[in-house]
Structure 1
Amino acid sequence: MPSAITINSDVGESFGLHSFGHDDELLALIDAANIACGFHAGDPHVMSATVASAARAGVAVGAHPGLPDLTGFGRRQMNLTAEEVRDLVVYQAGALNAFVTDAGGRLNHIKPHGALFGMLSRDEDLMKPVAEFAARRGAQIYGLAGTAHQRAADNAGAQFVPELYVDLNYDSNGSLIIGRRPHATDPAAAADRVKSAVSTGTITANDGSTLAVEFSSICVHSDTPNCVEVAKAVLFALETSQNASNQEGHAIGNA
């Protein structure tokens, strides 16, 4: 079983007068917040307010940079060079970091958003400047184990945090299936995925095949209709799995 499993969530995705997500409720349940930096969602005021809320909740703060696509919520791929990716991420993480340092905190991690997340997971050349920037900042990289996320982070000397997703499906190759619109997730199904991942190191892909997963953090998205119930189910599943593991270890020790 992975040790010290955390829960993270993408937050700060409101914009102007439009409010999205369930940030306040989630911040009471999670360990790390991935805050939108203005390109796919968020704006300066939302960024500032979300950083302050995360600080009050004692939650680690990370940058969640995305593609410059407010209309598509950063979920439409773009043809970018490594230099363009670098500048997009440095610009957005730098903006968020200004609010973080002004609040007396530090930037904990960088986690690409949406289509950018998928693009960087498949292309180490695109991921390399992001990982190198994170290493220079002393920030962690959140991403998918066994992909360019991890390879680039390892090569750059950035600490890598592998994630498990409970509200997105995986294909048989281990890639996330990211739709244009969020949908409700069955809390029981999310809990079952966590229990399977913790106890067996595997989950079920969308085609029914068994997929090995490595993770130390679980992502619960904030824009799904019942994300708070999903987060609570994940927490309960983690607690249950941890107790079962401890009891098993105790029984073996007394055998």
Structure 2
Amino acid sequence: MIKSIDINCDVGEGVGNEHLLIPFISSCNIACGGHFGDTNSIDETIKLAIENNVKIGAHPSFPDTENFGRKLLQISDDELKKSIQNQLDLFLERLSFFDGKLHHIKPHGALYNTIAVDEKLADLFIESIRNYLKDAFLYVPYNSVIEKVALKNNIKIKYEAFADRNYNNDLSLVSRTHKNALLVDETAVLNHVLYMIRNNQVKTISGSEKKIKVDTFCVHGDTKNAVEIVKYVYQNLEKEGFKIE
């Protein structure tokens, strides 16, 4: 069984709790202007990550601040590719200013969910980011379309699961339109994570057990009690003998 665990958070999204989250995580995904973010928010978050020795990732999205990147946007392939690359160019420019290193890319929201099931969009996404991933990983969900497309293109991946979200039987996330989509009780989140680690399975919303692979667990930084969740999970995983790294 694995003894080291990566905990990641989506940050730089305007919540303002990064200084409280980052000490209890090992990698972060920084919004880079698609759903949220500008030079100031990117700079502030990069500085915090470097100060806390947290691995730094870019968090590109559909260019849709109005819906926080959580709706499928109908735009042309060229527009989407240009937007993703503009977001990454801005992010890498700011990262190089601080002599930081890009550890990974993790798409956000509707983009993340759509490329998990849509091969055409997954191909476009890989084409858009390929040149940015020479020394970095792509965070992907297990048994997804984007996983297969990335591996086919020799992209290094890390499997991501969600500590604070419930799963459907097909390993998709329960929609945020449903009241049981989010796990907000700290103990429930910890048990969810431990079950996946110990069994290589996830318990779905219907009670089924489905195989899953996990290298990194995400806690959403914009959840109301995200700081309490992250701190609780961090401290209790350490008590269980796991190293957060």
**Global fold match (TM > 0.5):** yes
* CA spacing shift, 1:183–1:42, aligned 2, 3 Å: farther
Task: Specify the alignment match of 2:168 in structure 1.
Answer: 171
TM-score, structure 1 as length reference:
0.86
Asked if 2 retains the 8 angstrom alpha-carbon contact of 1:203 and 1:210, the reply is: yes
Give the SS at the match of 1:62: strand
Tell me if 1:41 matches 2:36. yes
Does 1:12 find its partner at 2:18?
A: no
Question: Which runs of no fewer than 5 residues in structure 1 stay unpaired?
Answer: 15-19, 244-255
User: Which structure dedicates a bigger proportion of its chain to helix?
Assistant: 1
Q: Distance in 2 between matches of 1:80 and 1:191?
A: 39
Q: 1:141 Cα deviation (Å)?
A: 0.3
Give the counterpart of 1:28 among 10, 23, 45.
23
Tell me which moved more, 179-188 or 86-95: 179-188
Shift of 1:167: 1.2
Question: Taking CA–CA contacts closer than 8 Å with sequence separation of 6 or more, which of the two structures ends up with the larger relative contact order?
Answer: 2
- After TM superposition, the structure 1 = structure 2 runs for residues 101-180 of structure 1, keeping only pairs within 5 Å, are 101-137=96-132, 138=134, 139-179=136-176
TM-score scaled to structure 2, two decimals? Answer: 0.89
Moved more, 178-187 or 150-159: 178-187
Equivalent-residue separation in structure 1 for 2:137 and 2:129 (angstroms): 6
Give deviations 1:64-96, integer Å, cap 9, x for gaps. Answer: 011122121111112345444322221111111
What RMSD, in angstroms, separates the aligned Cα atoms of the two structures?
A: 2.1
Q: How many residues align?
A: 238
Per the alignment, do residues 157 and 93 of structure 1 end up closer, same or farther by CA in structure 2, a change over 3 Å counting? same
Residue of structure 1 equivalent to 2:222: 223
Mean CA deviation greater in 84-93 or 144-153: 84-93
Kindly, what percent of the aligned residue pairs are identical?
Answer: 31
Gaps of 5+ in 2: none
2:3 and 2:241 in contact (8 A); partners too: no
Change (3 A) 1:50 1:178: farther
Checking the alignment, whether the CA contact within 8 Å between 2:151 and 2:157 is kept in structure 1 is yes
Q: Any idea what SS the aligned residue of 1:215 has?
A: coil
Matching residue's letter, 2:141: L
1:58 is aligned to 53
Query: Would you say 1:95 and 2:94 are equivalent positions?
Result: no
**Poorly superposed stretches of 4+, deviation over 6 Å:** none
Greater alpha carbon shift after TM alignment, 102-111 vs 80-89: 80-89
Match of 1:71 among 66, 71, 75: 66
CA distance in 2, matches of 1:194, 1:217: 10
- Contact 1:21–1:222 under 8 Å retained in 2: no
Q: CA deviation at 1:242?
A: 4.0
TM-superposition CA deviations, 1:151-183 (whole Å, max 9, x none): 121112111010110111211110013426996
Instruction: Give the partner amino acid of 1:63.
Output: A
Between structure 1 and structure 2, the one with the greater Rg is 1
